Amino acid sequence: MSVEIRSHTGLHVIKGAIQKVLGAKWTTGVSVNGSHGRISVEFDRKPSQSEVDLIEQYANDKIREDVPVEVFHMRRGAAEERWGDIIYDKFPLPESITELSICVIDGWNVNACNKEHTSSTGEIGSLRIAKTRFRASKRLLEISFDIE
């Protein structure tokens, strides 16, 4: 399994941890380059170091749980009816897209995503937060991480 697939699935795991610790809902951007990933979320303050540590701990706990990562292919209306707007990031998909792939880590993260994923969280390995950056003017929190 490629490191990019592991890193991309790590984005879903860390997003769930960010939502649990900070309550941040809207992802505004993600990127993966090899074993490195970065996620940006709409947020109104710089998190404390203890909050950042807790995000990393929660993410690694979910990875160690080795829970299934499921992907559902379904009509957009059915996906929206089942999960609501939580399947989207800050910038919604164009209305012309009528079929979605939904990545689900039960009780943790649900996201419309057309990328390839690991079949379980345990396949990710482990995750280490490398850097955080809060941009107050844009109300953005960026969290960079590495898959180990």
Give tens-digit pLDDT for 107-138.
Answer: 999 999 999 999 999 999 999 999 999 999 99
Residue appearing with tokens 């990127």: 31
Q: Are 59 and 14 in contact (CB under 8 A)?
A: yes
Q: Are 37 and 14 in contact (CB under 8 A)?
A: yes
Q: How confident is the model at residue 25 (pLDDT cuts 50, 70, 90)?
A: confident
- What's the confidence (pLDDT) of residue 64? 98
Nearest to 15, CA basis, from 127, 123, 97, 114: 127
Q: Which domain holds residue 139?
A: 3-147
Domain holding 38: CATH number?
A: 3.30.980.10
pTM: 0.95
Domain count, the chain: 1
Q: Long-range pairs for 125-129 at CB < 8 Å and ≥24 separation?
A: 125/6, 125/63, 126/60, 126/63, 127/10, 127/13, 127/14, 127/56, 127/59, 127/60, 127/63, 128/56, 129/14, 129/52, 129/55, 129/56
pLDDT in tens, 31-59: 999 999 999 999 999 999 999 999 999 99
Q: Are 69 and 12 in contact (CB under 8 A)?
A: yes
Find all residues with CB under 8 Å of 48, minimum gap 6, and list them: none
